[in-house]
Structure 1
Amino acid sequence: MDDSRRSRANVDPITRINIFDFDGTLFASPQPNHELWEDPLFGYLKADTMIFKGWYQHRKSLSFDESIRRRRWKGWWNNEMVDLVRESVKHPNSLTVLLTGRGYSEFHHIITDMVERKDLKFDVMGLKPDQNTIKWNLCYKSSIIQKVGDMKYEELIRNETSLVKVDMMENSEHLEEQSNRSNSSRKKLKSINTRVTTKEFKLMFISELLEHHPSVKSIRLWDDREHHVKCFQCLFDDLKSRGIVDEAIAKMVFLPIRYFDPYQEYLIVQAMIDDHNKEVERFSKAQANESSRKFSLGKIQLVPREYYYNRYVYTKFAIQLEGVNF
Structure 2
Amino acid sequence: MSPISINGLESFDFKSWGKPNRDIYKELHIYDFDNTLFQTPLPNANIWSNQAIRVLMAFNILANGGWFFDPRVLASTGEGVEVEEKRAWDGWWNEKIVSQARESIRRQDVLAVLLTGRNEQFREITEKIVKSKGLDFDGVVFKLQTTTGYWPQTLTFKLWFFEQVFLQYPNVHTIRVYEDRPSHVESFSNWLARKADEDERFSFEIIAVTEPPKYLKFTTEIKLVKSMIASHNAKAPTLKLPMYKFVKNVTSSIITVSPTELHHLRNAFFSVPITDIMQSVSANSRRTSIDDEPRIAEPDLPPDTPYNSYPEKSWIVTAIGRYRDEYWAVRGETCDPHFKNRIHEPDTANIPSLYGTIMYISMSTGIVTSEITDIGAQQWKVLHPDERWLMRTNIRRECTHDIRYKRPYTPARKFTDIVGLEGQRASPFTGSMHKPS
Secondary structure at the counterpart of residue 249 of structure 1: strand
Match of 1:118 in 2: 133
| Cα shift at 1:305 | 4.5
1:268 is the counterpart of 2:224? yes
Is the contact made by 1:72 and 1:117 (CA closer than 8 Å) also made in structure 2?
Answer: yes
Q: Distance in 2 between matches of 1:223 and 1:76?
A: 17
1:317 is the counterpart of 2:317? no
1:207 is the counterpart of 2:163? yes
- After superposition, give the CA deviation of every residue in 1:185-223 in whole Å (9 maximum; x if it has no partner): xxxxxx655422222221222221222112210001001
* 1:227-266 map, 5 Å: 227-243=183-199, 246-266=202-222
Is the contact made by 1:236 and 1:249 (CA closer than 8 Å) also made in structure 2?
Answer: no
Q: Distance in 1 between matches of 2:47 and 2:169?
A: 47
Of 47, 50, 60, the residue aligned with 2:61 is 50
Q: Distance in 1 between matches of 2:52 and 2:166?
A: 40
Q: Distance in 1 between matches of 2:244 and 2:127?
A: 33
Match of 1:28 in 2: 39
Letter in 2 for 1:69: E
Q: Distance in 2 between matches of 1:251 and 1:10?
A: 28
Is the contact made by 1:217 and 1:244 (CA closer than 8 Å) also made in structure 2?
Answer: no
Q: Distance in 1 between matches of 2:201 and 2:238?
A: 49
Of 70, 74, 88, the residue aligned with 2:104 is 88
Are the structure 2 counterparts of residues 244 and 215 from structure 1 closer, same or farther at C-alpha, using a change threshold of 3 Å?
A: farther
Is the contact made by 2:32 and 2:114 (CA closer than 8 Å) also made in structure 1?
Answer: yes
| Cα shift at 1:276 | 2.0
List gaps (5 residues or longer) in structure 2: 1-18, 253-306, 310-396, 411-437
- The alignment's TM-score, normalised by the length of structure 2, stands at 0.52
Q: Distance in 2 between matches of 1:272 and 1:50?
A: 12
Q: Distance in 1 between matches of 2:198 and 2:142?
A: 29
Structure having the larger proportion of residues in helix: 1
Deviation beyond 6 Å, 4+ runs, structure 1: none
Letter in 2 for 1:40: Q
* 1:13-24 map, 5 Å: 13-24=24-35
What is the aligned length? 247
Is the contact made by 2:242 and 2:405 (CA closer than 8 Å) also made in structure 1?
Answer: no
Is the contact made by 1:32 and 1:42 (CA closer than 8 Å) also made in structure 2?
Answer: yes
1:73 is the counterpart of 2:158? no
Are the structure 2 counterparts of residues 244 and 213 from structure 1 closer, same or farther at C-alpha, using a change threshold of 3 Å?
A: farther
Match of 1:3 in 2: none
Secondary structure at the counterpart of residue 24 of structure 2: coil
Is the contact made by 1:216 and 1:245 (CA closer than 8 Å) also made in structure 2?
Answer: no
- The alignment's TM-score, normalised by the length of structure 1, stands at 0.69
Q: Distance in 2 between matches of 1:298 and 1:194?
A: 24
Q: Distance in 2 between matches of 1:103 and 1:49?
A: 16
Q: Distance in 1 between matches of 2:404 and 2:166?
A: 45
Letter in 1 for 2:83: S
Most deviating of 74-83 and 30-39: 30-39
Q: Distance in 2 between matches of 1:74 and 1:25?
A: 15
| Cα shift at 1:122 | 0.3
Most deviating of 226-235 and 205-214: 205-214
Q: Distance in 1 between matches of 2:46 and 2:201?
A: 45
| Cα shift at 1:54 | 1.8
Of 96, 107, 115, the residue aligned with 1:99 is 115
Secondary structure at the counterpart of residue 108 of structure 2: coil
Secondary structure at the counterpart of residue 118 of structure 2: strand
Is the contact made by 1:104 and 1:128 (CA closer than 8 Å) also made in structure 2?
Answer: yes
Is the contact made by 2:242 and 2:409 (CA closer than 8 Å) also made in structure 1?
Answer: no
Letter in 1 for 2:135: L
Are the structure 2 counterparts of residues 315 and 41 from structure 1 closer, same or farther at C-alpha, using a change threshold of 3 Å?
A: closer
Q: Distance in 2 between matches of 1:120 and 1:237?
A: 30
Is the contact made by 1:12 and 1:93 (CA closer than 8 Å) also made in structure 2?
Answer: no
1:299 is the counterpart of 2:315? no
Are the structure 2 counterparts of residues 47 and 310 from structure 1 closer, same or farther at C-alpha, using a change threshold of 3 Å?
A: closer
Q: Distance in 1 between matches of 2:65 and 2:22?
A: 42
List gaps (5 residues or longer) in structure 1: 1-7, 133-190, 285-296
Is the contact made by 1:35 and 1:316 (CA closer than 8 Å) also made in structure 2?
Answer: no
Most deviating of 208-217 and 34-43: 34-43
Aligned alpha-carbon RMSD (Å): 2.5
Are the structure 2 counterparts of residues 271 and 200 from structure 1 closer, same or farther at C-alpha, using a change threshold of 3 Å?
A: farther
Q: Distance in 1 between matches of 2:171 and 2:401?
A: 54
| Cα shift at 1:298 | 1.7
Most deviating of 246-255 and 39-48: 39-48
Are the structure 2 counterparts of residues 205 and 321 from structure 1 closer, same or farther at C-alpha, using a change threshold of 3 Å?
A: farther
The percentage of aligned residue pairs carrying the same residue is 30
Q: Distance in 2 between matches of 1:321 and 1:34?
A: 22
